[in-house]
């Protein structure tokens, strides 16, 4: 009887172990997961009550919020280095859907408007700053270079490898990949998404996941290093740039342009003024010399 009991116990433990090991969020290493029933694993964002759908990507807003949390609220996970951008590290305000709120503020009561990718699109202002809408980012341009190699990849192979990568790893439908251009060692990827259906991932989230992967700070639970294979050869990414294009032009660009035009006009006016003044002075000196010469002749 005892051997039979031991066999049954071993089977139970073997069945329970995979269940416990599988209670993790494959697409979000910062999610806190718990087994709340037989075969039922619930995952929520660290330090918040928002449930996480681990079958798809987590919104960029929620990810940024999780990144800026203190270590004690992240249990045993090592906190990332933080979000590096021109505006510094801040904890974004997110809608319940995971979308960025149009206005973001930091602890010093400085506010600015952002697009749907969370990128600043206005000058900074005070708490009175009004952001009437969340402008959607519909184009994302990704530029990357790969490390030097003896021979370049074939263009169709690069296109195929990157299309499969974005589709399999980031759940992005190929219809949102508008173009892939390869001019060794530069690779340009253009993502286009006017509207995001509820069942599709957002291109801003895809770009953020991809950026974290390239910087060896993957959001995926496996935390493995990103490997891209082009027809069996490794594509070693060297540098990465991401550009965001919104439905409406960013407002601070026009202000900067106006300031630049004003500066140019000021310089031109000052130059013209100095030139006119110099001409007047030279004319006055010539007139004065001529009058002196006339007086000298009359005396003689």
The residue to which tokens 């991932």 are assigned: 201
pTM of structure: 0.73
Question: Which among 135, 144, 134, 140 has a CA at the least distance from the CA of 185?
Answer: 144
Alpha carbon distance 108, 91 (integer Å)? 12
Residue 292 has a pLDDT of: 54
φ, ψ dihedrals at 51, nearest 5°: -70, 150
Burial 182-212 (b: 16+ CB within 10 A, else e): beebebebbbebeebeeeebbbbbbbbbbbb
Report which DSSP code applies to 258.
Answer: H
Residue 252 has a pLDDT of: 63
Residue 287 has a pLDDT of: 72
Residue 207 has a pLDDT of: 96
> Using only C-alpha atoms, what is the Rg of the chain?
31
Burial 34-60 (b: 16+ CB within 10 A, else e): eeeeeeebbbebbbeebebebeebbbb
The residue to which tokens 């990465």 are assigned: 240
Q: Write down the domain spans for the chain.
A: 31-246
Residue 274 has a pLDDT of: 72
Tokens of 243: 């550009």
Alpha carbon distance 260, 265 (integer Å)? 9
Residue 20 has a pLDDT of: 44
Task: Per residue of the chain (300 residues), give pLDDT as tens.
Answer: 444 444 444 444 444 443 345 688 999 998 888 888 777 888 988 766 789 999 999 999 999 888 877 644 444 333 333 223 445 456 899 999 999 999 999 877 889 999 999 999 999 999 999 999 999 999 999 999 999 888 999 999 999 999 999 999 999 999 999 999 999 999 999 999 998 898 999 999 999 999 999 999 899 987 667 889 999 999 999 999 999 999 998 886 544 444 444 555 565 566 667 778 777 787 767 776 655 555 555 555
Report which DSSP code applies to 97.
Answer: T
Alpha carbon distance 204, 208 (integer Å)? 6
């Amino acid at each position: 009887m005892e051997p039979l009991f031991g066999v049954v116990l071993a089977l139970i433990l073997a069945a329970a172990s995979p269940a416990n090991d599988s209670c993790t969020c494959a697409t979000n290493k910062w999610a806190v997961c718990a087994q709340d029933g037989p075969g039922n694993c619930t995952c929520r964002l660290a330090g918040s009550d928002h449930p996480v759908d681990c079958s798809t990507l987590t919104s960029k807003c929620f990810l940024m919020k999780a990144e800026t949390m203190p270590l004690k609220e992240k249990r045993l996970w090592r906190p990332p280095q933080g979000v590096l951008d021109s505006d510094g590290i801040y904890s974004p305000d997110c809608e319940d859907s995971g979308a960025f709120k149009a206005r973001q503020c930091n602890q010093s009561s400085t506010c600015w408007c952002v697009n749907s990718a969370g990128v600043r699109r206005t000058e900074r202002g005070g708490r009175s700053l009004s952001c009437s809408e969340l402008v959607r980012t519909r184009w994302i341009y990704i530029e990357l270079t790969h490390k030097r190699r003896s021979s370049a990849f074939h263009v169709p192979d690069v296109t195929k490898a990157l299309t499969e990568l974005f589709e399999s790893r980031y759940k992005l439908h190929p219809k949102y990949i508008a173009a892939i251009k390869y001019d060794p060692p530069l690779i340009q990827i253009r993502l286009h998404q006017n509207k995001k259906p509820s069942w599709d991932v957002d291109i801003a989230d895809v770009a953020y996941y991809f950026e974290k992967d390239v910087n060896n700070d993957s959001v995926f639970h496996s935390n493995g290093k990103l490997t891209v294979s082009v027809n069996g050869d490794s594509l070693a990414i060297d540098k990465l740039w991401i550009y965001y294009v919104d439905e409406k032009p960013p407002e601070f660009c026009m202000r900067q342009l106006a300031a630049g035009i004003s500066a140019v006009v000021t310089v031109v006016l000052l130059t013209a003024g100095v030139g006119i003044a110099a001409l007047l002075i030279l004319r006055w000196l010539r007139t004065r010399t001529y009058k002196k010469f006339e007086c000298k002749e009359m005396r003689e």
